A and B are shown apart, each in its own frame.
Chain A
Amino acid sequence: MTKEEFVSSVTANEKKLYIAAFSVVRNAEDAKDAVSSAVAHAWENLDRLNDDGKFDGWLLRITYNEAKKMKRHGGDSVSLTGLEDSFAYDPDDADMQFFDIISSAGLDGKSRQILILRFIYGYDLPETAKMMSLPLSTVKTKYYRALDKIKKLPGII
């Protein structure tokens, strides 16, 4: 992957990465930090990525890890200002936002990643499996289990 391709890919997915990070840290600034750190990590470790086709999933995974790491290490608390700066909730629908749903379902990290790749990125399951370097069967299993869990959430349907 060339530098230009790297930047192009990051640019195309920046918002999605932010959303993924935000779903973990729930904090606009930390989410941005997580994305930024992930991008830096990705660039530094780009030679470890053998298949450019997996870049999106790889970067998403790193972003997730960075966000989790940030959360573990005590990132900033939710900031009203940060939220307003970078993320606009619809208060009438706040309890049903996308990552509120997947968070409420108590999904593991991979399942959440699958759902994000599927719904935020728009990849189908085979593409998601490729992105995550997982067997399609695993992706399917996690995907449908996740949907099962979500479907059982009160008030979801």
Chain B
Amino acid sequence: MKKSDYKDIEEILSDKAARLEKRVGYSGAVRSADLDGSVNEDRHVRPHSPALQIAGAFLAAVIVGGGTFGALKYMEYKGAQIAANQGGPSEPAGYADAAEKSEYDQASPVAERADGFGEVRFINFADDFSKFRLSSRIFADAELPIENGYQSVYKVTSEEADKLGFDVFIYVDRDSAHHGGICVLDKEGGLVMDFKPAYLLSPPTCLLYAGDTPSGHQTFFFTAVQELSGPDWDWTNLYACDLVTGQITKIGSTGPNAYGSNALYTTGSLSYVESTGEILYNVYEKTYGTVIGQELTADNVIHNDVIVWNGEKYALRDLPNYEQSSPDPGVNLPEEYLSGGWLKIRSGENDYYPSSLSRKAVVGGTAVSEEFFETVPTEIEYRSGDELAAFNTARKAGYGEWRICKITVDHKKEFSSSAQALEYVRSVVGNGVESVYVEYVITWDAAAIRDPDADRWETTFAFRVINRENVVEGPGEAERISSYVNLVIGDKTLHPELISSTVYRGDKKTVKNYDTTGTLFIINGTEPVSFENGIYSVWHIYKATVTDTDGAHEFDTVEDALKHAVNAEGTAHVEVELTWDTAADKTVFVFGFSLIKEQLSEETTVPGAETDPGKKLPPQIFREWLLTKLQPKMTFEDLCQTVWNIEAGGYQIKNDIRAAQYQQIEYGEDGTFMRYGNEGYDLTCFVENDDAETVREARLILRPGFSGFELPYGLSIDTTPVGALEWLGFNAKQIAALEGRITADDGFTVTYYTTSVSFTYGLREDGYSVSMGIEISDGSDDQVYIEIEKL
């Protein structure tokens, strides 16, 4: 097919693209005004996207600050500005403020605020934690992809709240229900208030009012969207949160958004009127037609009221009609909100996380129930100075609820265990296949190396050990264990060595040792979302034994055992004997793993590596080995089958090749681009995982003079430039032109010479792609590389 054959489709796409851009009624994705959904009067902002709001401020901040630290400062400023409602609605993108905020970059304090009004400071923090790997970097204003979906945490502070000793977090749990909430922590890490109503969509739009309030208590007001079922949806409510008592009361509602012949959409927003000191609660309404994009009305302010204190509670000065005429759905009464949970978190100097959570439901100041949850810290979410906030999941079964605890980091402590969790997980996939495994997660965090003044924290020595043991249970089936340990030190991952397993069933004891060399090398793991998990906490740990060069050492707790193992020289083998059963005839599991302390280097063969040179080889050996594979008359496909077993699925081997790479190029977050080469060839392999397909592609670039391959189409690596051009279809005249004088448009005449030709062969799963590169020179040192492809 000639290129001209594509002209029509290119024109169609160009037209569609132009129409697309033209028709996108796009109001700005990165925009500082989005930070202030509460005061935005120009348009409705569906309040589900705090990341967007924060990112807008973040982008603004990077202009004026030196990165995250500056971003936080700017957000502090911006928050104050929002609080004072000085910016007005729908400012241009936040970065337009750069020039006028330049002085703020000079570490100036918080911008001037309206009297009696606190600052609103949003801090979005996240990490690039993947499920099975502890990242060493914590930075601000990004997303946090973790199991069960995205989660983000925003910290909202005010000077007044700070004086009172409170930290306010808004967290967003983007699980399937898109829930989110607010929690308030005291300075000791205790969770004063955790507000996560079951029927609210997140996040709340928050406006912190920390001045002297009519109630005499510091209070902040926020709106949150309440998800309704049936024909109504997205009822926006207005709440007041008393920071002293933690009590939350509903002040008003916007009324429901309704589907129907014409969809009605209402939303509420908060704003502060500096001149009067009033807090306004505005309700907007818009009616949509039945056709997507059809707007029957513009935004109409249907209610505009002031929040007042009536002596008993906060209320709107004039109740909106909706409050009077529309029934409250009855699922969000204030009492029910309070029963959302009061958590008390044990806190202490060296406590990195609470071993258990007490969740107490309090109604009217009286505790009506109390539950205890064992907790499993999941990810470090936020770190500021000596404080660390982490999500904890209180899981009884299945996916649990996420909670936040604040942790005091002891900078003087050289080495601390931050988490301990043993879980017995029974997973059932959709087709009924069941797997049972033990998951042990322990994370050490050498907090001493963190610099609280830095705008980015780099953990130079922190690692996580994840041990998963798959056990097949059932009559007639032998116990099987296939474990691995990923030991991540900094950005290095060590591989598992020996796993031993002892399974007791009553008096029956089965001991097995497993050589995990070359198996179960999993960094990214598998997505567990398709599993129905039953997760059980360890009932009892009998003992933990560490065997190192000094012999065996027994410990009562796994944590102590691991502390010893980590400090042991060389390899230490850890065995833990435990049970999940509460029955008298307990099934006792003993699982073990080895901690290997040597840190990998490029010159170090991975422990336990097989002799197959195709796996886990230092780069120089890999290159030598590759050269031995380049046999005369070898086809490129043969080579790829040799170095990269595509038939068997190249991903595993790809990882092994990566371990041997000496030159790696990573683009974005793919991390799938590898390149090897020497003077004669350049081998590139990459894997692209895409929604549509997984593409594994190997490309070999052969430079002139390199030999050893049988090339298709009668070509040879020694094909001359002229021969290559002929193969490409150039006629003699055209070739002569390439080797002759070329007059450029500006009249400047250059003499070009074709100097060399190289071939690029790409092997994809769907066939070859072949191209040649022709280097032409104008006689100077500079060469122009022209790549020509025969389609």
Chain A residues proximal to chain B, CB less than 8 Å: 3-4, 6-7, 10-11, 14-19, 21, 24, 29-33, 35-37, 39-41, 43-44, 48, 58, 61-62, 65-66, 68-71, 73-76, 79-91, 93-94, 96-99, 101, 106-110, 115, 119-120, 132-133, 135-138, 140-141, 144, 147-148, 150-151, 156-157
Please tell me if B583 contacts chain A, counting CB pairs below 8 Å: no
Question: Does B581 lie at the interface of the complex (its beta carbon under 8 Å from any beta carbon of A)?
Answer: no
B19 touches A86 (CB 8 A): no
Would B59 and A97 count as touching, CB distance under 8 A? no
Chain A residue contacts of B692, Cβ below 8 A: 106-109
Closest Cβ–Cβ distance, residue A9 to chain B (whole Å): 11
Question: Which residues on the B side are within 8 Å of A35 (C-beta)?
Answer: 29-30, 52, 55
Q: By the criterion CB–CB under 8 Å, are B12 and A156 in contact?
A: yes
In the complex the two chains form, is B17's CB within 8 Å of A98's CB? yes
| Given A98-B17, A108-B693, A156-B9, A87:B174 Cβ within 8 A | no
Which residues in B have their C-beta under 8 angstroms from that of A43? 58-59, 62, 67
| A83 and B293 within 8 A (CB) | yes
- B27: chain A residues at CB < 8 Å are 85-86
List 20 A–B pairs whose Cβ atoms lie within 8 Å, in order of A's numbering.
Answer: A3-B98, A15-B24, A18-B29, A37-B142, A43-B59, A62-B669, A65-B668, A65-B670, A69-B145, A70-B143, A76-B178, A81-B234, A84-B293, A86-B29, A89-B292, A101-B13, A109-B688, A132-B667, A137-B771, A150-B13
For the A-B complex with A36-B55, A80-B263 known, give 4 more contacts whose Cβ atoms are closer than 8 Å.
Answer: A7-B95, A36-B52, A74-B175, A109-B688
CB pair A80 B288 closer than 8 Å: yes
For chain B, residues 1 to 39, give those with C-beta under 8 angstroms from any C-beta of chain A: 1, 3, 6, 8-10, 12-14, 16-17, 19-21, 23-30, 34
User: Quick check: A29 and B52 within 8 Å, CB to CB?
Assistant: yes
The 9 closest A-B pairs by CB, nearest first: A36-B55, A137-B771, A119-B17, A98-B16, A109-B690, A32-B29, A35-B29, A88-B25, A7-B95
Q: Which residues from chain B sit less than 8 Å from chain A, CB to CB?
A: 1, 3, 6, 8-10, 12-14, 16-17, 19-21, 23-30, 34, 43-46, 48-49, 51-52, 54-56, 58-59, 62-63, 67-68, 93, 95, 98, 139-143, 145, 149-150, 174-176, 178, 234, 257, 263, 265, 288, 291-293, 295, 456, 665-670, 688, 690-693, 695, 699, 760, 762, 769, 771, 787, 789, 791
Closest residue on chain A to residue B70 by CB atoms:
A3
Given contacts A29-B49, A39-B59, contact A14 B19 (CB under 8 A): no
User: Is B693 in contact with A79, judged by CB distance below 8 angstroms?
Assistant: no
Q: Is the CB of B21 within 8 A of A19?
A: yes
Residues of A within 8 A of B234 (CB): 81
**In the complex, what residues of A have CB within 8 A of residue B98's CB?**
3-4, 7
Give the interface centre of B49, B56, B265 by most chain A CB atoms within 10 Å. Answer: B49
B789 close to A90 (CB less than 8 A): no
How far does the alpha carbon of A33 sit from the alpha carbon of B45 in the complex, in Å? 13
How many angstroms from the CA of A43 to the CA of B56 in the assembled complex? 13
Report the Cα distance A133→B23, complex, angstroms: 31
Cβ–Cβ < 8 Å partners of A135 in chain B: 699, 760, 771, 787
Q: Which residues of A contact B265 (CB under 8 A)?
A: 81
Known: A18-B29, A43-B59, A120-B21. A73 touches B150 (CB 8 A): yes
Asked whether, in the complex, the Cβ of A119 is within 8 Å of the Cβ of B93, the reply is no
| Distance in angstroms between the alpha carbons of A84 and B174 in the assembled complex | 23
